[in-house]
Chains A and B, each alone.
Chain A
């Protein structure tokens, strides 16, 4: 069974960047996508972006596409999400999740979440 373990909490100043990691274990790191979902305090779930583990194709939500970069390192089975030019409204818990239930692509496995706080 795949498990996703994310990096620890971060505190950043406005304008800085943050890079969150998501390490997969327990299964082959291939043939699915890694998604990034965030949740601001007391708010709902917001899909941010997707990266294919197989070919590194990406797709991002319009509201972050100019500031987000998603990558993978297949040698370590790790996915990364970097968000630049941080603002206070980027304060949220960031989750990674796999979408292995083709063709319906539901998010079947989730990381534990990484709290990113943006504050001066």
Chain B
């Protein structure tokens, strides 16, 4: 079974900080990697698909990189509205998907 491992599980950062979240797949998934942001009490929101394609309306401070098994989500300058939980998801095995366990970004 495909496993997705995110690190760290949580982090504390200040407004303006550069933040990087890592996602590792247990097998090669090419660029079939998506990133979501979820705020408390809300449905997840798609930020990036295909590892690096930013969704319409998502601020350019968000970026994604990687291919194969190792991927990153970077927020170049953390804003107050970015404090949330972030999930990676592999879609290589569609129609079966796997999420990472999530990374909670908290205010320092």
Contacts and interface: CB of A to CB of B under 8 A. Distances in A.
Interface in B55-104: 55, 87, 89, 91, 94-102
Interface string B37-67: 0100001111001100101000000000000
10 closest A-B pairs by CB: A106-B49, A110-B43, A106-B34, A105-B94, A50-B95, A105-B91, A59-B95, A45-B99, A44-B102, A47-B97
Contact of B98 (A47, A104, A112): A47
A61 B32 contact: no
B46 A108 contact: yes
Given A33-B95, A47-B96, A110 B34 contact: no
A82 B101 CA distance: 25
Contacts of B55: 108
Given A46-B99, A47-B96, A47-B97, A106 B91 contact: yes
Interface residues of B, number: 25
B96 A61 contact: yes
Contacts, number: 71
A95 interface: yes
Interface string A51-71: 010000101010000000000
Contacts of A97: 43-44
A98 to B, nearest CB: 10
B99 A47 contact: yes
A107 B89 contact: yes
Contacts of B91: 99, 104-106
B44 A104 contact: no
Contacts of A104: 31-32, 34, 49-50, 53, 91
